[in-house]
Structure 1
């Protein structure tokens, strides 16, 4: 059974195996919100932890696929043994990240060594971009031949293997740069026995009930569903894994007893057309047991 952690009203998982199982076996996508250890300064590709939609948590909880726990923050100070274990753990994690970075950097340097050697040659010859341009415009052909001979002589003086060793030595020096590890401070170490089972309270309101029943109905039909906030909708619906497919539908949950303003209909129709997706309005039947769908299509007139 997969363990999910409840923190401040949101549910997370930090375990990579659990994340993979949720996605591949149960079509639960969630949203990754952490940075990658080897690419921490970009936000195109994110990593663990993963935060789940409340509808996803409810679905998994109903089917008894997960257990929900929380950790209470202790009011007492950690013991020296706990602090030491915490420091060792953080140091191990940091060094693993360093090793990943070093291997990636080594691969990059090895694959680009030809460009590095060429840059070194041009620097020795003073063949920068501006100087090369002036050289081509002003120097005679005799000088070109002389420059070419000097170029070949300087080429022989560049030791490719030594240059590669120098670049790799710069990577090895990262082992000595361990101040980041030393500045970490330990506060608390969480153990499995500290986990407290919690009750999941969702849905509560009629709006939440509509959202959940819509999510569950689409999930049972075999779709992948994610949050649709970036498109102004409740859900984005995919025919397959979002890694391989674009979303087909923008789902907006609407109460069948409330009138939807014409301006909202126009806005939704134009939105669906501009992003090339079908806008779908979902609502519940009178008995509240069936999810009803209505698609919108924008027809522009000139």
Structure 2
């Protein structure tokens, strides 16, 4: 089986984003990395409930993936070069073509729906047409009655307009029979057969095209930049395979303190034990610890990470951790990283003896 290439984490302003749905699925299924969807979805009203791409990763997730060779860090801003004039023109042309295609499809769907509704309500439409025709005739008859009462001459067409008589000259041998009368008369006065008689203008293809200027369309933004000709993530100084290299380039600056390093180590330790990890801010901790995929399981623990195993904890904090975790039907887990032993240590808190 061919080894999969490292996932590219697009970093901008010290935040790592995933824009590829295949990468998101791969990390979630194969490596228990969930992240948080933060992008809005078109035409969805509740944007705080249903979110889409990109996926934002926690700093601990980024460190874990890079240290284990699963992903690399990409300086997304440096990977975007200035497009040339030809590239920009081609991009705008493709966007305009996509908009026209979308409008044409929308117009065709609307027309098909209109025909379907006309077919469904044909009887009602025909009845209304007959009613309008009867009303028009009734108004015309009332107009004729008023004209008769006023002593005016009433024509067959219901009005008093005079008839217009149009004389069409006889067609001469060799003359064109497709033009208006004046072209025929001009051809008869010529000395020979007419070879350049005026023809009615033939409709062009544009005359048959519907007006799509008022047809709505959706602006589609390409989520990934890989398809752009001016995007190059493989150029030197853009992609980093280690946290240290990214930190020296100023692209990534986590972890920096003992507490941050302890969080990364404890996070990775629980990850290696098969747990899924998520953000725990809503439940009063650093992380939530799930026994399986968060889409299927509730978390069992809220986790608070300490800098070292000897870090002092105030008694009020212990009470708060225990009562808060019990209130949300979880156990509170205290974790720390022992650098001397090279292992993580844990202690769990549960509020008991309710009387």
TM-score range, shorter chain: 0.5 to 0.7
1:274 to partner: Cα distance = 1.1
Q: Is the contact between residue 10 and residue 16 of structure 2 (CA under 8 Å) also seen in structure 1?
A: yes
State the alpha-carbon separation in 2 of the partners of residues 80 and 175 from structure 1.
Answer: 30
State the alpha-carbon separation in 2 of the partners of residues 231 and 57 from structure 1.
Answer: 22
State the alpha-carbon separation in 2 of the partners of residues 301 and 210 from structure 1.
Answer: 34
Q: Is the contact between residue 58 and residue 200 of structure 1 (CA under 8 Å) also seen in structure 2?
A: no
2:336 to 283, 286, 290: 283
- For the pair shown, the structure with the greater C-alpha radius of gyration is 2
2:269 is equivalent to residue 217 of structure 1: yes
2:85 to 64, 80, 83: 80
Cα distance, 1:258–1:31 mapped onto 2, change above 3 Å: same
1:87 to partner: Cα distance = 3.0
> Secondary structure in 1 aligned to 2:75?
strand
1:85 to partner: Cα distance = 3.6
> Secondary structure in 1 aligned to 2:261?
helix
Moved over 4 A (4+): 73-78, 88-100, 156-159, 178-181
User: TM-score of the superposition, structure 1-length normalised?
Assistant: 0.65
- Higher mean alpha-carbon deviation, 280-289 vs 91-100, is at 91-100
2:328 is equivalent to residue 271 of structure 1: no
What per-residue deviation string (whole Å, max 9, x for no partner) do you get for residues 44-79 of structure 1? Answer: 121111111121111111221212111345999643
Root-mean-square deviation (CA, aligned residues, Å) is 3.8
1:30 to 3, 17, 35: 35
1:177 to 190, 203, 216: 216
- Higher mean alpha-carbon deviation, 34-43 vs 249-258, is at 34-43
* Residue equivalent to 2:299: 247
2:284 is equivalent to residue 232 of structure 1: yes
Superposed, 1:119-138 pairs within 5 Å as none
Cα distance, 1:210–1:297 mapped onto 2, change above 3 Å: same
2:60 to 38, 43, 55: 55
* Residue equivalent to 2:232: 192
> Secondary structure in 1 aligned to 2:288?
strand
Q: Is the contact between residue 86 and residue 189 of structure 1 (CA under 8 Å) also seen in structure 2?
A: no
1:259 to partner: Cα distance = 1.4
State the alpha-carbon separation in 2 of the partners of residues 53 and 254 from structure 1.
Answer: 18
* Residue equivalent to 1:18: 23
1:26 to partner: Cα distance = 0.9
2:258 is equivalent to residue 206 of structure 1: yes
- Higher mean alpha-carbon deviation, 252-261 vs 216-225, is at 252-261
State the alpha-carbon separation in 2 of the partners of residues 258 and 206 from structure 1.
Answer: 12
1:207 to partner: Cα distance = 0.5
* Residue equivalent to 1:147: none
User: TM-score of the superposition, structure 2-length normalised?
Assistant: 0.56
Cα distance, 1:36–1:261 mapped onto 2, change above 3 Å: same
Q: 5+ unaligned residues in a row in structure 1: which ranges?
A: 118-155, 160-172, 182-187
Cα distance, 1:16–1:179 mapped onto 2, change above 3 Å: closer
